[in-house]
């Protein structure tokens, strides 16, 4: 074998050694990197399926709440009440004590509709059907307890009371073509206890949808005729920003 043959053999051996070393280093690098890749992937998967978010100290939102309202006459058997649909809308605000404990308030415009039947003031032994439409500006004040956010949702329960001021009060007697203002026949102040709960759904890091159910039990007189208290069940829908 001449000089050229020896040189080519030497070059092939060097290339073969270099190639083998590179393959070994590549395989070693992949083996070392795989645990980190899978660990990072696992962490991302856990974050997606059990996502937790830092709670916000203050959350503001808007709400729309259809309700079913009725009058409570207690032991007065002369009056009867039938439930009717109403609605409320307005602003909500949650102030955090910690991750799971909140002070909840807001400002709502609440319309309560009720149908009643009672003694007629003009005839003896007769009855008169009335439709009431009472509208209040209400401020709810409640303690709100929330679970930790998991799987993009958390559960909450709340208890407190509402204070409402009359904005408008109208009634329509059976057979009348229109409603008329009740004036001082409807009380100006409404106070009530409320309890409720529901689910908050994390839409993104700054947007939460609230769904829930609330029972609101008035303990002040609503109107003079029969001196009833009014109560309602509300279906709550809201968005916190």
Q: Reply yes or no on whether the pLDDT at 148 is more than 50.
A: yes
Considering the domain architecture, whether residues 235 and 126 belong to the same structural domain is answered as: yes
* Confidence at residue 49, expressed as pLDDT on a 0 to 100 scale: 43
Q: Reply yes or no on whether the pLDDT at 29 is more than 80.
A: no
Residue 139: phi and psi, rounded to 5, are: -120, 110
Q: Reply yes or no on whether the pLDDT at 95 is more than 70.
A: yes
The more confidently predicted of residues 239 and 52 is: 239
Token reading at 201: 């759904």
Considering the domain architecture, whether residues 45 and 62 belong to the same structural domain is answered as: no
Considering the domain architecture, whether residues 187 and 221 belong to the same structural domain is answered as: yes
Separation in Å, CA 204 to CA 21, 126, 153, 201: 49, 60, 11, 9
* Confidence at residue 16, expressed as pLDDT on a 0 to 100 scale: 60
Considering the domain architecture, whether residues 33 and 73 belong to the same structural domain is answered as: no
* Confidence at residue 6, expressed as pLDDT on a 0 to 100 scale: 57
How high is the mean pLDDT of the chain? 84
Considering the domain architecture, whether residues 134 and 95 belong to the same structural domain is answered as: yes
Domain CATH code at residue 114: 2.40.160.20
Closest among 187, 190, 188 to 223, alpha carbons compared: 187
Predicted TM-score (pTM) of the model is 0.76
Considering the domain architecture, whether residues 96 and 168 belong to the same structural domain is answered as: yes
Task: Give the count of domains, the chain.
Answer: 2
Considering the domain architecture, whether residues 165 and 222 belong to the same structural domain is answered as: yes
Considering the domain architecture, whether residues 19 and 75 belong to the same structural domain is answered as: no
Considering the domain architecture, whether residues 104 and 29 belong to the same structural domain is answered as: no
Considering the domain architecture, whether residues 43 and 105 belong to the same structural domain is answered as: no
The more confidently predicted of residues 111 and 178 is: 111
Considering the domain architecture, whether residues 9 and 75 belong to the same structural domain is answered as: no
34-40: average pLDDT: 49
* Confidence at residue 53, expressed as pLDDT on a 0 to 100 scale: 61
Q: Reply yes or no on whether the pLDDT at 13 is more than 90.
A: no
Parent domain of 45: 1-49
């Amino acid at each position: 074998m001449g000089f050229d043959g020896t040189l080519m053999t030497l070059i092939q051996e060097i290339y073969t050694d270099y190639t083998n070393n590179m393959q070994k280093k590549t395989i070693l690098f992949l083996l070392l990197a795989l645990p980190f890749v899978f660990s990072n992937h696992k962490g991302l998967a856990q974050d997606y399926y059990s996502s937790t978010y830092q709670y916000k100290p203050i959350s503001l939102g808007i709400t729309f709440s259809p309700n079913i309202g009725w009058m409570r006459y207690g032991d007065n058997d002369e009056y009867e009440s039938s439930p009717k649909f109403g609605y409320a809308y307005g602003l909500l605000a949650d102030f955090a004590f910690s991750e799971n404990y909140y002070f909840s308030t807001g400002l709502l415009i609440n319309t309560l509709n009720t149908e009643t039947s009672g003694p007629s003031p003009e005839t003896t032994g007769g009855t008169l059907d009335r439709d009431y439409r009472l509208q209040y500006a209400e401020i709810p004040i409640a303690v709100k307890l929330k679970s930790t956010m998991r799987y993009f949702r958390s559960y909450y329960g709340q208890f407190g009371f509402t204070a409402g001021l009359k904005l408008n009060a109208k009634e329509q007697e059976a057979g009348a073509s229109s409603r008329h203002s009740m004036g001082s026949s409807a009380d100006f102040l409404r106070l009530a206890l409320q309890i409720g709960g529901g689910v908050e759904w994390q839409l993104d890091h700054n947007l939460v949808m609230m769904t829930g159910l609330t029972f609101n039990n008035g303990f002040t007189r609503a109107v003079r005729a029969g001196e009833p208290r009014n109560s309602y069940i509300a279906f709550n829908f809201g968005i916190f920003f």
